Amino acid sequence: MGLLKLIGHIILIIVLTTMTQVGGIIWLLAVIISYQTKKGKRIVFPLLYLLFNLVIIPPIASHFGREKLPWFGPELQPRNWFYPLAFRNYVNPELKLELEDAAHVLYKSGITITYLDANLPFFNGFPLLPHLSHNDGKKIDISLMYLDEQGQPTNKKPSTSGYGVFANTENSYSAKSCLSKGYWQYDFTKYLTFGTLNNLKLDTKKTAQLIKQLLSIPSSQKLFIEPHLKTSLGLSAQSKIRFTGCHAVRHDDHIHLQIK
């Protein structure tokens, strides 16, 4: 194996491990199997990756206190396939059960809980980049609710990733303040939309309903949204709703929920 090829493998292992926690190990196994069987890595790696994602990792993660959230479902689902495929859809069993209960209640009102980044399968403290937390199975990001171009409630989202399209930005004094103080990362998620798909407006009624249901979870500890959303959604009396401060990214494109 040439030096450049070895460096390429090392870089790929680092990237896959950073993004998915276990992808680097899967790539290393794929290289070994490909060498032994003379099969191309382009065939071995995808098959091995899916085998680990769907069959091998979930029961092992369960043994370590993490459960995967569903890939698809009418009540609780990811924004797109990336989150479960990248092993970023794991939470502890308590949070999974309570999310499923909340989703069941909300679905009766036409609300589907759409999750974004949750946690990786193993080990407290392993960072889920680019987040500052999401490292203990107790945190999850959830999409806001929106109105379509006709002003009707919809479960569609404005961006491919679910991040980066900020709601009611004209009232975001916190964003103006943080950016003016030099916190460049504060609205960095605007570069992570991976495309804006729909021209949607915030559904204040259903977003408030979603947040209230999440806060009713017995173990809920904190919920992060921007201060201007807390006010406009009529949730000023909710003490569990917090402002992250300028050191994190803004939360008027998604909800951050964490339990005790």
Positive or negative torsion for Cα 122, 243, 240, 203: negative
Positive or negative torsion for Cα 62, 63, 65, 66: negative
Predicted pLDDT of residue 1: 60
- Contacts of residue 50, defined as CB under 8 A and 6 or more positions apart, other chains included, come to none
Could you state, in chain order, the average pLDDT of each consecutive group of 10 residues for the chain (260 residues)?
Answer: 83 96 96 89 94 98 96 95 97 97 96 98 92 93 96 94 88 83 92 89 96 95 95 92 92 96
CA 66 to CA 89: how far, in whole Å? 10
Predicted pLDDT of residue 52: 98
Predicted pLDDT of residue 62: 96
* Number of other residues whose CB lies within 10 A of the CB of residue 186: 22
In angstroms, the Cα distances linking 215 to 15, 69, 72, 156 are: 35, 19, 24, 23
Predicted pLDDT of residue 176: 85
Predicted pLDDT of residue 82: 96
Strands 220-224 and 241-242: parallel
Cross-strand partners of 143: 254
Q: Within 13 A of 222's CA, how many CA atoms are on the CB side?
A: 11
CATH topology (fold) of 70-259: Muramoyl-pentapeptide Carboxypeptidase; domain 2 (3.30.1380)
Predicted pLDDT of residue 134: 93
* Region(s) of the chain under CATH 3.30.1380.10: 70-259
Q: Which of 205, 220, 3 is nearest to 99 (CA)?
A: 220
Predicted pLDDT of residue 172: 75
Sheet of strand 254-259: strand arrangement: 76-78, 113-115, 139-143, 254-259, 220-224, 241-242
Predicted pLDDT of residue 224: 96
- Contact criterion met (CB below 8 Å) for 158 and 198: yes
In angstroms, the Cα distances linking 244 to 80, 209, 255 are: 26, 21, 11
Give the model confidence (pLDDT) of 105-142 as tens digits.
999 999 999 999 999 999 999 989 988 889 999 999 99
CA 102 to CA 244: how far, in whole Å? 24
Q: Which of 114, 139, 115 is nearest to 126 (CA)?
A: 139
First to last CA, the chain: 49
Predicted pLDDT of residue 3: 83
* Number of other residues whose CB lies within 10 A of the CB of residue 4: 8
Positive or negative torsion for Cα 182, 183, 185, 188: negative
Cis, bond preceding 70 (omega within 30 deg of 0): no
CA 55 to CA 62: how far, in whole Å? 12
